[in-house]
Every structure is written in C-alpha cells, then in structure tokens.
Structure 1
Amino acid sequence: MKFVEPIRDRKKIESMKKILSAQSDRDYLLFKIGMNSAFRISDLISMQFKHVINKQGKALSHFVINEKKTGKVNKIALSKSVKKSVEDYARKYYSDHLDEYLFKSRKGHNKPISRVQAWQIIRDAAAEVGLENIGTHSLRKTFGYHQYRNGTSIAILMTLFNHSSESITLRYIGITQDDKDQAVQSLDL
C-alpha cells in the first residue's frame, strides 16, 4: 500500500470540494464528511442514513459508528456545515428508509460504493488540483492535521483516532520536521 499524505493546503481542499460538488452530490458529501471526521474509509462507505439523520431528515448532532477495524464505538460531532450538507443531501436522496446506504453504489440495490471506487473519486479530484500521494486515507489524515494546526490537543486526536501514543498520532497526521522547526523558530524569545 502506498503512503498517502494529508492535504495541507486549504485552497486545494476548497478546489477539490468544487470539483466533487460539480461531479456528484454523493462524492461531495463523502469528501465533506471524510474531511470533517476521524473515520476510516471503510466506516464512511458503510454509513447509512440512520447514522446522520432522524426520520424527519434532520441531521443528528453526532455520528455514532461502531468502527470496523477496532470494534470500538466512535462518536464525533457534526459541524454546522456538515449538518447543512447532510440535510441538503437527505432532501434529495432520503426515501424514508434509514437503513439505506448514504453513499450508494449505482450498481445493484442498496449497496455502498466500494473502497476502490471511493479511492478513485478522491484520487482523481486530487490529481485535478495537482496533488500527489492522496487517497481515501488522506481524508482522515487531513482532518487530524488541520485539527492539530488549529490547536486541538494531541491527546484528543489520539482518542479520536484510537492511537496508543502521541508520536504515532503526530507521524500519522504528517507533522514533519519542517513543522517542528517552524514552531520553534516562530517563537524566538
């Protein structure tokens, strides 16, 4: 498996949102939720409407997912913009069946898109904006990278990712020697 990077440039993230929004509501929402949560792609593509909305189509306050890899329950709040995107999507695609998959494949009845299809969606949009080494795992890493840069403590990120140490989380979210050097040089007491 090839090592993927977080998307560090917010302008590239916005460009990818525009590309995916023009391409498909489903692809845009996959990217939006992935960029705003700590979920792995296997958990994202398994999401059903019941994980994001109530019967009236209103967004829930939290995603509550039983993670496939760890078996642990992970509860993550939805931001305002994610709630709006979820409700917009539900208005168009929710058909009173909470067990339907959110990211439905166009092949077959009520099946989610595959990991490969999700990877292709993300990789193609990234390539269009000039990014390399980007894949589905980049969504989760990007979430962590920007949370950390925004001041979220490494302890909280460790919990969100179910990591066992700070060093694992820092390496995972792509905090590099350059980032460490910049932090020290910017203080200059």
Structure 2
Amino acid sequence: MSYVEPIKTRKHLKHAEKYLKKNHDLAFTLVWNIGIESGLRISDILKLQYRNINLSNGQCKIIESKGTLARRAKAKMRVLKKVKEELLFHYQARGLSKKMSIIYITPPQLIVSFIPKSWESTVNERVKHAIDSASPVTRTFYLSESILITLKQRKQEYKELANDYIFNRQTLSSNRAKGGEGLLTRQACWYVFSKLTAILKEIGVDVKVGCHTLRKSFARHLYFATGKDIGLLMTVIGHQSESMSLRYIGLSKDETELAQKKLIVYLSRKTRI
C-alpha cells in the first residue's frame, strides 16, 4: 500500500468532494463521503449492503473484514503454539533431541510441516474449530442525513437489481463497468481518488491522496471534533499507542514543524550583548 495522508481541513475536503461530483460517477462521491464520515476501510465500504443500514435513523452495523481476519489469525496462532509445545514434549519423551532442536527454533506458524502424519487430521480440526469459533469484529456507526438521502434515491433507482450491494458495478454510468459482474473495485477508487493529489495541489495543498486517505482524514477530524480525545481515537482506529495514532493523522509531523518555526522566531529575537 502506497503511503497517503489525511486531508487536514474541512474546506479542502469539500473541494475534493466538489471535484468528484463534477468529474466522476456519483458512486465515487458516495464512497468518499461514507469513508470520511465513518472511517471504514475501503474494502468494507465497497461491500456495504442496504441491509447493513437503517435508512430511517442512519445506524449501520457491519462485520469488519480486517479485524475479523486478525482475530481468526490469533485464534489459529494460539492452537499452533500449543501444538508446538506438544511436539516438544512428544520428542522429549522419545529422546529425540535433534528433532526437539528443530521444533524449538521453528516459528509456530510453520510448525505444521513437522507434525507426524498421525497428527494431521486432529491438528487441522483444532485449527478449523478455533477459526470458526472466533467471533467476528463488528462495528456500529452512523451516517449523515445527506448520505441517507443519496442512499434512498440510489436504492429506488436500482431496485430492479437482484442483489443488495450498494456499489454493484451495474449501477455505474460507464458502459464498460456495467458489462462486468461484481462490485466497484478498490483499484477503480484508487485511480479516481489519487487524482485529488494534483487537484488539491492546484490550490496550494500538498497532500498525497489515495483510498486510505478517507480513513486517515476521518481519524484526524474525529480527534479535533472530540477535543483531542486521543484515547477515543485509539479505540476507534484500533491503535495500541498514542504516538502511532498521532503519526497516523499527521499530527506529529505538524507539531514538529510548528515547534521548529517557533524556534526560529525565538532565535530571531533581539537580545542585549
């Protein structure tokens, strides 16, 4: 994933939205606005279904793909760590020190290659059970009235489509896009959103824009809208440290530059010799 940055002011967010509305399919503007308001990853936005959204009050409930995958990966890793311990005990009991040494230095995620044939079925069942038992990571959020109006209009306009996906390719204005199956892609969104780098540069804003700009912009504006509540930001974004969150929203860089400018002013003051 290429490095991208948040858009730091509401004025510049509106400028970006205005460009998207004027120059691209309205689906891209809708993706953009949902991302800025909710902080969802682009992969989760593109898989949104109308059934996820209460069009009366704006409440949305989804299963987060990345968080769920991470939780399942942790569940699998716990099983593999246990299997590694069992293998060490197994070979120790048989006095096979050479095999013990190999198992000892092998990371848990690679341990399956060293289990006896007679263990394979049981280990696979344990891993599958652990993954299946890991509860999905859910997220509840709200959308603005303006987005709800757009969604209602979109649902009515494309009600003849068989599936419930908001960003079905057949809803796009491009004939080429309509001819394909599936959903609007991340690659298509990147192609459109990355153009905003040049568009914003025209008005003096130096920022690298891409799909993840949506989530980073959400995080930055959430931080300031909540009175710089870093704890809340960390919870919403899923970060483990304040410094990580501050870097994520581009704040540590801002503060460094501001501090250096203050130093220049300080050093420039006239003093008596």
* Shared fold per TM-score greater than 0.5: yes
Q: Distance in 2 between matches of 1:70 and 1:103?
A: 22
**Residues 177 and 123 of structure 1: CA distance in aligned 2, closer, same or farther (over 3 Å):** closer
Which of 136, 159, 168 aligns to 1:104? It is 168
* 1:124 is the counterpart of 2:195: yes
Percent of aligned positions that are identical: 31
Letter paired with 1:2: S
Letter paired with 1:31: W
How many residue pairs get aligned? The number is 178
- Tell me, which stretches of 5 or more residues in structure 2 are unaligned? 69-136, 170-176, 263-273
More divergent stretch after superposition (121-130 vs 42-51): 121-130
Q: Distance in 1 between matches of 2:4 and 2:32?
A: 16
Runs of 4+ in 1 over 6 A off after TM superposition: none
Q: Distance in 2 between matches of 1:166 and 1:119?
A: 28
Q: Distance in 2 between matches of 1:14 and 1:181?
A: 25
* 1:136 is the counterpart of 2:215: no
Contact 2:58/2:145 (<8 A) preserved: no
Q: Distance in 1 between matches of 2:2 and 2:14?
A: 24
TM-score for both structures, normalised by structure 1 = 0.81
TM-score for both structures, normalised by structure 2 = 0.58
Q: Distance in 2 between matches of 1:60 and 1:90?
A: 16
Please name the residue that 1:69 is paired with: 66
* 1:154 is the counterpart of 2:230: yes
* 1:29 is the counterpart of 2:100: no
**Residues 127 and 90 of structure 1: CA distance in aligned 2, closer, same or farther (over 3 Å):** farther
**Residues 165 and 4 of structure 1: CA distance in aligned 2, closer, same or farther (over 3 Å):** same
Aligned Cα RMSD in Å?
Answer: 2.5
Contact 2:196/2:209 (<8 A) preserved: no
**Residues 94 and 116 of structure 1: CA distance in aligned 2, closer, same or farther (over 3 Å):** same
Shift of 1:65: 1.4
* 1:87 is the counterpart of 2:152: yes
What per-residue deviation string (whole Å, max 9, x for no partner) do you get for residues 34-59 of structure 1? 11112111111111222235xxxx35
> What is the SS of the residue equivalent to 1:74?
strand
Q: Distance in 1 between matches of 2:156 and 2:198?
A: 31
Q: Distance in 1 between matches of 2:150 and 2:256?
A: 35
| Greater C-alpha radius of gyration | 2
Please name the residue that 2:17 is paired with: 17
